[in-house]
Amino acid sequence: MPQSQQAHIFERFYQADNATGLSLSGSGIGLALTQEIIMQHKGHIGVKSELGEGTTFTVTLPLGDEHLASEQKSAEPQPVDMLPVQEAKPEEAIAMYGSPEVVPADKITDKGKAEKSLSVLLVEDNEDLLQVLEEAFSIKYKVYKAGDGEEGIRMAEEMQPDLIISDVMMPGINGTAMCQRLKRKLETSHIPIILLTARVDLESALEGLKCGASDYIMKPFNMELLLLKCNNIIATLKRQQTRFRTEAEATPAELATNRLDQQLLEDSVRIIEENMENKEFNIDMWCREIAVGRTRLGAKIKSITGLTLNDFIMQIKLRRCAYFLENSDLTISEITWKAGFSSPGYMGKCFKEYFGVTPLQYRNSKK
């Protein structure tokens, strides 16, 4: 390193250039953190460097413990919990799993999937940090890993994770650019993204949030805080999905976090509503109208709403029934035909399964 850079290498977020002029990969916090730890022990760290020759760091620490205050000493080794995990509260468990008891990961069922069934994609070029993140998240999530933005985009499209956590400063495609590209793709626009960065200026934070990220977290960060933020993002989505499935007033567009998803849901609802009295209408017609393949549309609707394509159609038809029950004097039979059901009995059965009351009870409750 040149002499001019040696004076700054212990400054937080400072990043020197190597002999070829290329920016070093890193966040600029390692040496600053090292110096702070050494200073806590009343020590000193120095550096000697010659261009083309190499660099030597020297750490000097005082012997004994006379230089430490009494509260800094401990006679017994102190256990360190490297991966703190906070159990979900009963109300959070109800929102996420429909039960106040958190289901163990090894007892996942189709009806009440534990959080282990959720997945996270970690995009980080620093192997040490990537390993720490993997160890923390693998306790409750299925973990996918990518070493740069290009690989992150490919894996996001292929694996369809429930959440993406990405560093901002990476070689090639950085985290912000990756976020922008994922948010412009129909297959990935719904996936929440958290950006991790050593940049603390307001402009960088605004840039990260404007590109569509759900959160922007500064390094160094608290692992427990990061885990809780991720859990909260997914819990919020689960609550919105539950509300959409159980409350007639909730609309599909409320589940969208960006304009692309909102447009897809609005177009889907319009197509289904326009064809409610068409006995020939089916999922293939819906796909043709919206110009999206069946597999692709099914994965997208499932990710946003938690519903299959058939269940989504049923949900929209039942919402039409609820609208007529509340805003018209049509009979139950007339509403049945307008909503495309085969019989009043079947419509009533489906209505009660979704909304918990019969069509007549729903109408009386709105008067």
259-289 residue pLDDT tens: 899 999 999 999 999 999 898 899 999 999 9
Domain spans of the chain, in order of start: 3-65, 90-243, 248-365
Q: Which residues are registered as beta bridge partners of 339? A: none
**What angle in degrees, to the nearest 10, is found between the helix axes of 294-305 and 283-290?**
90
According to the model, what pLDDT value does residue 27 have?
Answer: 46
Q: Does domain 3-65 have CATH number 3.30.565.10?
A: yes
d(CA 121, CA 252): 26
**Tokens, residue 51:** 């261009």
DSSP 275: T
Q: What is the pLDDT of residues 187-207, one digit of tens each?
A: 999 999 999 987 666 676 677
Model confidence at 12: pLDDT above 70: no
**Tokens, residue 159:** 């694996």
Find all residues with CB under 8 Å of 7, minimum gap 6, and list them.
none
Domains 3-65 and 248-365 share a fold: no
Chain centre distance of CA 346: 38
Find all residues with CB under 8 Å of 129, minimum gap 6, and list them.
167
If one counts every other C-beta atom within 10 angstroms of the C-beta of residue 312, the result is: 25
Specify the 3-state DSSP secondary structure of 194.
Answer: strand
Q: Which amino acid is at 297?
A: L
**Which CATH topology does 90-243 take?**
Rossmann fold (3.40.50)
Q: Which residue has the tokens 């946003």?
A: 304
Q: Which amino acid is at 23?
A: S
Do 217 and 226 meet the contact criterion of CB atoms below 8 Å apart?
A: yes
pTM above 0.95, yes or no: no
**Which CATH topology does 248-365 take?**
Arc Repressor Mutant, subunit A (1.10.10)
What average pLDDT score do residues 227-243 get? 90
What average pLDDT score do residues 212-236 get? 88
- The pairing of strands 54-60 and 193-197 is unpaired
Q: Which helix (H) or strand (E) holds 340?
A: none
Q: Which helix (H) or strand (E) holds 92?
A: helix 90-97
Q: Which helix (H) or strand (E) holds 197?
A: strand 193-197
d(CA 99, CA 328): 37
